[in-house]
Amino acid sequence: MPELPEVEIVRQSLHKKIKKKSIKKVIIRNRNLRFKIPVDFESFLEDKKIIKVNRFSKYLIIHFQNENYFIIHLGMSGTIHILDKKKPFKFTNTSFYHSPFLPKKHNHAEFIFDNLRVIYNDPRRFGFFEIIKDHQNLKKRFESMGPEPFSDKFNLNYVENYFKQKNKDIKSFLIDQRFVSGIGNIYASEILFACKINPFKKAKHLNKNECTKIILNSKKILERAIDKGGSSIRDFKDITGNKGTFQNEFKVYQQDGDDCKRTKCKGIIKKKITSNRSTFFCNFCQN
């Protein structure tokens, strides 16, 4: 499942290609995504001019000129492909997960511009589309979610107050979108390794120094991942032919059985399954 850095790479690709363009036509081939696409979806989007493509957490937000909004969530397996008539790309995928080429199956939606086609592909159909008709409702849509790691609201006062009397482990909190938005399983393990914090330590037992480390390393690691183009868990490329390379910097994720990469640490990277999710950590420096 794409996490914040991977969705940000999709956002950058889309923003570059479709800003200031109008949607000429919408073709829906399958309305049965996670939430069924309504019958008036096509007519609502057609002829609307795009001002910019934004993002909150793992959600893409397309801003229209008339202050309507179109939200896309990629779910577990959703990908967005761009086909450019003027400059055909060998690789159509806007990010680094799943096939770099436009698949023949599961192309559920197509958005047609003058010289571009944007295609939404989703084999598992856990992604969804959502129309928001004004700024107030857009704000309301995300009010139950926690701040992004890059937000000024994700600060020491917020984290310490949130963790008071909380018995849940810190790894579970980092992937809980009600606490902080955008961090998923991959980056939660990497953040906690950088902090030297045991992923199964209860949140209420974290001290001020540990909370500060979580805040700083969340920002640092996600910024680094975006700078590196995200993480290509498989060997695929984006529309420019580049691969996300942050996976080359993984310290613990999918490194189980390896020696710890921290200098002078004698630990081994372990893998533990909790709530059907894999958690990777060093059994020595994160003990």
Decide if pLDDT at 247 tops 90: no
185 and 137 share one domain: no
Give the pLDDT confidence score for residue 275 in this predicted structure.
73
d(CA 165, CA 283): 26
Specify the CATH number for the domain of residue 236.
1.10.8.50
Give the pLDDT confidence score for residue 24 in this predicted structure.
98
28 and 61 share one domain: yes
Specify the CATH number for the domain of residue 112.
3.20.190.10
Give the pLDDT confidence of 61-105 residue by residue, as tens digits: 999 998 999 999 999 999 999 998 877 777 888 876 677 788 899
278 and 179 share one domain: yes
97 and 132 share one domain: yes
Confidence of residue 242 (pLDDT cuts 50, 70, 90): low
d(CA 174, CA 192): 9
Give the predicted TM-score (pTM) of the model. Answer: 0.90
Mark 15-27 as b/e (b = at least 16 C-beta within 10 Å): bebbeeeebeebe
Question: Does residue 23 form part of some domain?
Answer: yes
Structural domain count of the chain: 2
Q: Which residues are catalytic?
A: 2-3, 58, 277
Residue with the bigger pLDDT between 56 and 9: it is 56
Confidence of residue 233 (pLDDT cuts 50, 70, 90): very low
127 and 175 share one domain: no
58 and 137 share one domain: yes
192 and 254 share one domain: yes
Question: Does residue 262 form part of some domain?
Answer: yes
Question: Does residue 36 form part of some domain?
Answer: yes
Question: Does residue 177 form part of some domain?
Answer: yes
- Domain of 256 in residue numbering reads as 156-282
Across all residues in the chain, what is the average pLDDT?
A: 91
